[in-house]
Structure 1
């Protein structure tokens, strides 16, 4: 990688009027800090923020009355999976709030700062929702135990090793390269790591169990789909501004990150869903690979699991596909190189 991509970024000043209002770059550029939504380098980011803002909701809007009654009647396997999966989701969504804020500290473009602030706020509400669910259905001791899962469960600790490494690398050494890598792992969290957990709650709901929790999860799922699209679009725009990063080496790093994550998510799903009726482990693995393909297309890269281009868990469409209207035709390509995003080729084609 070149010095430009590996040199340390500096925290952007809050207000620097000698610079233009329209940012010159996402990272390492110039901007005054004055945000005029009608004069942006990437007008598409306004549309992304509007879409995400339109999804606003709060956890206490969801009625948990029936869930309170049903939780004690779940099987032991279902109760254990419920608590561990909530623990997983909390372990991932808590850092998502922070990593969006940390990225924003080094982002020159104020529209991207605002977009990341909006994402961070929603991630914070996601984390709150897990505490809200647990406080509704189980004891305080179980609530604490669930949130401790990410610190003590050996399978989950192993699963999250690379996430922690990449996020902490950016926190301690904020370069453009590390920022891009952090965004790649954000797409993995938003588009892959949550989904075996989401499937568990949707499986309960299709059997008439814990529908309030499933409703909450569907709101979170909808948010994550939009976050994944937003982060992918910012990533691609930043890649277009930093062509020195468009190398086989970095491409291979991303593919390796996705392959490793698919393995870890598959191992986790088999571990946490063991004994839970209604979810076939092989179908779950296929669904994870299907999600990996989808997120890679959004990053402008090729699929790595050609046998998993269709959703193998048809029943989950009722909970996910009805609001997953992200267009993917633009991303269908076989090149190893990234599809650049600029005002010339148009974000609206995505």
Structure 2
């Protein structure tokens, strides 16, 4: 039987104080103490504590360094930004929209907090482009998402699960939308980050890398959010996770990996120093395997069992002294969370 979801009403005094599950009626009153999902309270506070401002990152040196990059590096840099701008723009709107179908206010708080941080990310790209390139180049990058034939085609496919849920908000499509977000946050972004972090290994565009490190840290929290949503749905609606749904998700993951590999090959031409085609291909497949395993599915690329570019994780660390949502102890929470596999 298909379960159709309804948007949360703004005023619902007749609802129960605590929701019976992730979706369903409640008063929708935010009450973090004693909430149904302690993991969401913990994640919300972690996300909140990571507040930062793009304007604080000095990009003067990056402006000079950009002109010294090889043409393929400049083109890859700008094309990667064009795609990331589109991804973050989607995620400004999607989480708050998704929150309208969530019964637990603490989970909704995580989603709207994510939307706020995605706005910071979008501002970061604007700050970056305005600082290092002329206005004409900046305008061309902001048009890439629909002007570049490969990017326009893949963006159309990327948004399909979102549009499907919008047209028919069933529980199954809700779950699939969460998985699409896992791929967006945990596959598409990750290979994009690799471009900027690779430059930073040569002490190039280090201000850009600082922005990317902060964005990457935020996206780790967003990735954790959607993975935990899927794990919660699996606990509360086990019948939903049929072999048919698993096969559909495997198809989505395979397409995501193939599209990302094709995009990276197209923009680098196999000529970007430090990111040869075989290595970035293996890296995309490795992170795709990680995301599948995190939501309880078998990996697709069984021959890749270790990170082919482990230095990316080291370059991506913030070194702030703060533990993130994956590292903090969770023994005080009844959920017994473990995100070490994400």
TM-score between both structures, scaled by the size of structure 2:
0.91
Deviation of the 1:123 alpha carbon? 0.9
Q: In the alignment, what sits opposite 1:302?
A: 298
| CA deviation map 1:131-161 (0-9, x unaligned) | 1100000111111110111111111122223
| CA deviation map 1:180-220 (0-9, x unaligned) | 11111110011000122211111111111110001101111
For 1:59, which of 54, 69, 73 is the aligned residue? 54
Gaps of 5+ in 1: 328-342
Q: In the alignment, what sits opposite 1:251?
A: 246
Aligned-partner Cα distance in 2 for 1:102–1:349:
27
Q: In the alignment, what sits opposite 1:273?
A: 268
Q: In the alignment, what sits opposite 1:331?
A: none
Aligned-partner Cα distance in 2 for 1:119–1:34:
19
Aligned-partner Cα distance in 1 for 2:76–2:48:
32
Q: In the alignment, what sits opposite 1:338?
A: none
Deviation of the 1:266 alpha carbon? 0.6
Deviation of the 1:244 alpha carbon? 2.7
**Is 1:117 aligned with 2:112?**
yes
Q: Give the 5 Å matches for 1:1-350.
A: 2-4=1-3, 7=4, 9-27=5-23, 29-274=24-269, 275-320=271-316, 326=326, 346-350=335-339
Q: 1:166/1:224 Cα in 2 relative to 1: closer, same or farther (>3 Å)? A: same
- Equivalent pairs counted in the alignment come to 329
Aligned-partner Cα distance in 1 for 2:302–2:2:
36
Superposed CA RMSD: 1.8
Deviation of the 1:325 alpha carbon? 7.7
The answer to whether the Cα contact below 8 Å between 1:19 and 1:31 also exists between their aligned partners in 2 is yes
3-state SS, counterpart of residue 316 of structure 2: coil
Deviation of the 1:15 alpha carbon? 2.6
The answer to whether the Cα contact below 8 Å between 1:15 and 1:34 also exists between their aligned partners in 2 is no
TM-score between both structures, scaled by the size of structure 1:
0.89
Q: In the alignment, what sits opposite 2:330?
A: none
Deviation of the 1:321 alpha carbon? 6.2
Aligned-partner Cα distance in 1 for 2:93–2:172:
19
Q: 1:321/1:247 Cα in 2 relative to 1: closer, same or farther (>3 Å)? A: farther
Gaps of 5+ in 2: 328-332
Deviation of the 1:37 alpha carbon? 0.7
